Amino acid sequence: MTAIPQHIAIIMDGNGRWAKKRLLPRVAGHHAGVEAARQVVKNCAKRNIKVLSLFAFSSENWRRPAQEVGYLMELFLDGLEREVSLMHENNIQLRFIGDRSRLSERLIKKIIEVEALTKSNAGMVLLIAVDYGGQWDIYQAVRQLAKAVEAGELSSDVITTEIVASRLAFSDLPNPDLFIRTSGEYRISNFMLWQLAYAELYFTQTLWPDFDEQELDQALADYAARERRFGARVEN
Ligand code: IPE
Ligand code: IPE
Ligand code: MG
């Protein structure tokens, strides 16, 4: 039997370079990237993946020119407006992780709306990371715990790794089994630092807009051939 990951987490990288190669503006790359995201959602749902996480905008992406940031935010809003009914029909549950405080009111409203609409869907969970950073995630968990201690609800003596994990952004879902990054960059760029502890890492040179069904199957085949040990020893 082939091992199928329960949770796939993807850093969708290379939109800018894809556009540059075609002498197009960067935004055209982001536009093409949205189409690739639609395809990967469809193809993961088809393969019965339980959770798909997509890194759409990092805590550090605010450092980009305001015009590009603005375009990306419009793309998210537009994409949500256009895609949500189809996702809902396909029983997909949409959830967002990240620091919402810096997003526009319109986007926050839309996020709340689509989360509520798809809340009871029992199919694939699509986790979209917007203004997300692994360091932010750990920081907000620590802060929650500090507040609980301060309020006398929790004693610092009983804080375990499980308790820390329970305050992270998606503690009710399994951690990623397979991490994919496109565009030939070999780094995690502050994605799920805690949750990726035992993920199998897969890197491809393919730029995100070119990541198609075949590419996904290649990553899945690679994953199926891995031996996961989680620090233990395989008997022989
Ligand atoms: C990834 O593509 C999309 C986001 C970070 C939002 P990039 O925009 O990082 O593309 P490159 O890395 O410059 O090619
Ligand atoms: C990571 O890509 C973030 C997203 C894909 C959303 P970046 O392109 O921002 O990462 P760096 O700057 O190359 O590390
Ligand atoms: Mg990039």
**pLDDT tens digits for 17-39?**
999 999 999 999 999 999 999 99
Global confidence as pTM = 0.97
CA dist 25 and 16 (Å) reads 8
Residues 6+ positions from 16 with CB-CB distance below 8 Å = 26, 29
Buried b (16+ CB within 10 A) or exposed e, 77-94: bebbeebbeebbebebbb
Q: Which of 12, 61, 132, 183 to mutate to test the pocket of ligand 1 (most atoms within 8 A of CB)?
A: 183
Is pLDDT at 1 greater than 90 in this prediction?
no
Residue-number span of the structural domain to which 101 is assigned: 7-25+34-223
Residue 232 resides in a domain: no
Q: Is 13 a pocket residue for ligand 1 (Cβ < 6 Å)? A: yes
| Mean pLDDT calculated for residue range 178-196 | 98
| Mean pLDDT calculated for residue range 5-25 | 98
Residue 168 resides in a domain: yes
Residue 233 resides in a domain: no
Residue 119 resides in a domain: yes
- Locate the ligand 2 atom nearest the alpha carbon of residue 55 and give its number: 6
- Locate the ligand 1 atom nearest the alpha carbon of residue 19 and give its number: 14
Residue 106 belongs to a domain with what CATH number? 3.40.1180.10
Q: Catalytic residue numbers?
A: 13, 61
Output the pLDDT for position 89.
Answer: 94
Residue 236 resides in a domain: no
Angle between helices 26-46 and 66-89 (to 10 degrees): 20
- What are the pLDDT digits (tens) for 188-214? 999 999 999 999 999 999 999 999 999
- What are the pLDDT digits (tens) for 38-65? 999 999 999 999 999 999 999 999 999 9
Output the pLDDT for position 2.
Answer: 64
Residue 229 resides in a domain: no
Burial degree of 10 (CB within 10 A; 0-12, 13-18, 19+): buried
Calculate how far, in angstroms, residue 13's C-alpha sits from the geometric centre of ligand 1: 5
CA dist 85 and 80 (Å) reads 9
